Structure 1
Amino acid sequence: MKIYAINGSPRKNKNTATLLQKALDGVKQSVKDQEVETEIINLYDLKYTGCKSCFACKRLGGSSYGKCAIRDDLYEILEKLSQADGLIFGSPVYFGNISGQLQSFLERLFFPYLVYDSNYSSISPKRMQTAFIYTMNVTEEKMKEIGYLSTFNKVEFYLERLFAKPLVMYSNDTYQFDDYSKYKVECFSEEEKAEHRKIQFPLDCEKAFELGVNLIK
């Protein structure tokens, strides 16, 4: 069994990456009687673009039908992920959306599997389980008020159509800096952020772990 976590954050040891690792730990806990391989793929380590609309993945009889033909750092990654048993995506939220790096990745992952037939069906090699972890600076109330969820739902819609309905969790009101005094952030209280992190982030880590436990059932 192979489970991959896709880190859409430029940081490898902060909020998003930490929660992804907790989720992978949960997977290992839930399938401890089976051999399981887990790996975090850090997208910001890779050089690639979004979809280039070459349509090689749609060309009937073509060697790249059903898979992305672009030969960059994602080529072998996408091939590896095509045989995964589960994918856990994680992203910080920038301007109400997932990171641009993850968005470009999803274009490359999704489009080859989406068939231009009457049902827009999927030709994914495996109906793998999926999950999505969102981390963001805004509170849960503000997230709902601004309408973030409608944007997130678009990503989740395609995950369900192409693979499986994703498990979802949110980590809100995150602590962004090691030292707030070094940055122009008058709209936030460092004391309140620190107190919230002290109480809430351990709970978020537990939620991420449980997400991993429930991913493979």
Structure 2
Amino acid sequence: MKVYAINGSPRKNKNTATLLQKALDGVKDSVKDSEIETEIINLYDLNYTGCKSCFACKRLESKNYGKCAIKDDLQEVLEKVSQADGLIFGSPIYFSNITGQLQAFLERLLFPYLVYDKNHSSIAPKKMPTAFIYTMNVPQEFMEQLNYNLILNTLAAPIERIFTKPKVMYSNNTYQFDDYSKYKADAFSEEEKAAHRAKQFPLDCEKAYKIGTSLIQ
């Protein structure tokens, strides 16, 4: 068994990556299978683009039917995750949406599996369970006022169509800098941010862990 966490953040050891690792820890602790493997794939380590609309993945009787034909760093990753037993996506929110790196990855992952038939059916090799972890600077009340939920629920729709409906968690009002005094960031109170993190982030880690424990049923 293999479960991958797809890190759409440029940071490998901050909020998003930490929560993804907690989720993978939950997977490993919940599955009675000594052979289970987990891995975080850091998208910012890879050189690739989004979909180029070549439609090779839709061409009948082609070796690329149902597969992305672009040859770059993502080719091997897409092949690997196609056989996964679970996928957990993670991204910080930039301008009310996921990072460009993760958006490009999802285009390349999902579009080849979407069939242009009347049902828009899926030819994904597996109906694997999925989850999405979002981290963001804004508090929960701002997220709701700005309709982030609506935007991110729209994002979840193609994942549900291709694989399964993702489990979702949000980590709000995150601590962004190691030292706020070094940045122009007086819109925020470092003291309040630090207090919130000390109380809330351990709870978010528990939520991420529980997503992992419930991923593989």
Identify unmatched segments of 5+ residues in structure 2. none
Alpha-carbon displacement from aligned partner over 1:40-59 (angstroms, at most 9, x marks no partner): 00000000000000000000
- Give the deviation of 1:186 after TM superposition: 1.1
Q: What does residue 171 of structure 2 align with? A: 171
- Give the deviation of 1:131 after TM superposition: 0.1
In the aligned structure 1, how far is the partner of 2:126 from the partner of 2:195? Answer: 43
Q: What is the letter of the counterpart of residue 120 of structure 2?
A: Y
Moved over 3 A (4+): none
Q: What is the letter of the counterpart of residue 204 of structure 1?
A: D
Q: What is the letter of the counterpart of residue 51 of structure 1?
A: C
In the aligned structure 1, how far is the partner of 2:83 from the partner of 2:104? Answer: 20
Q: What does residue 184 of structure 2 align with? A: 184
Q: What does residue 13 of structure 2 align with? A: 13
In the aligned structure 2, how far is the partner of 1:131 from the partner of 1:104? Answer: 18
Larger displacement relative to structure 2 (150-159 or 128-137): 150-159
Question: TM-score normalized by structure 2?
Answer: 0.99
In the aligned structure 2, how far is the partner of 1:120 from the partner of 1:168? Answer: 24
> Alignment identity in percent?
74
- Give the deviation of 1:150 after TM superposition: 1.1
Q: Which secondary structure does the structure 2 equivalent of 1:97 belong to?
A: coil
Q: What are the within-5 Å matches in structure 2 for residues 80-119 of structure 1?
A: 80-119=80-119
- Give the deviation of 1:155 after TM superposition: 1.5
Alpha-carbon displacement from aligned partner over 1:61-101 (angstroms, at most 9, x marks no partner): 01100000000000010001110000000000000000000
Q: What are the within-5 Å matches in structure 2 for residues 1-217 of structure 1?
A: 1-217=1-217
Cα RMSD over matched residues?
0.6
Q: Which secondary structure does the structure 1 equivalent of 2:77 belong to?
A: helix
In the aligned structure 2, how far is the partner of 1:161 from the partner of 1:102? Answer: 18
Number of matched pairs: 217
In the aligned structure 1, how far is the partner of 2:56 from the partner of 2:155? Answer: 23
Q: What is the letter of the counterpart of residue 30 of structure 1?
A: S
Q: What is the letter of the counterpart of residue 43 of structure 1?
A: L
In the aligned structure 1, how far is the partner of 2:71 from the partner of 2:125? Answer: 20
- Give the deviation of 1:32 after TM superposition: 3.1
In the aligned structure 1, how far is the partner of 2:93 from the partner of 2:108? Answer: 20
- Give the deviation of 1:34 after TM superposition: 4.4
Q: Which secondary structure does the structure 1 equivalent of 2:68 belong to?
A: coil
In the aligned structure 1, how far is the partner of 2:142 from the partner of 2:109? Answer: 30
Question: TM-score normalized by structure 1?
Answer: 0.99
Identify unmatched segments of 5+ residues in structure 1. none
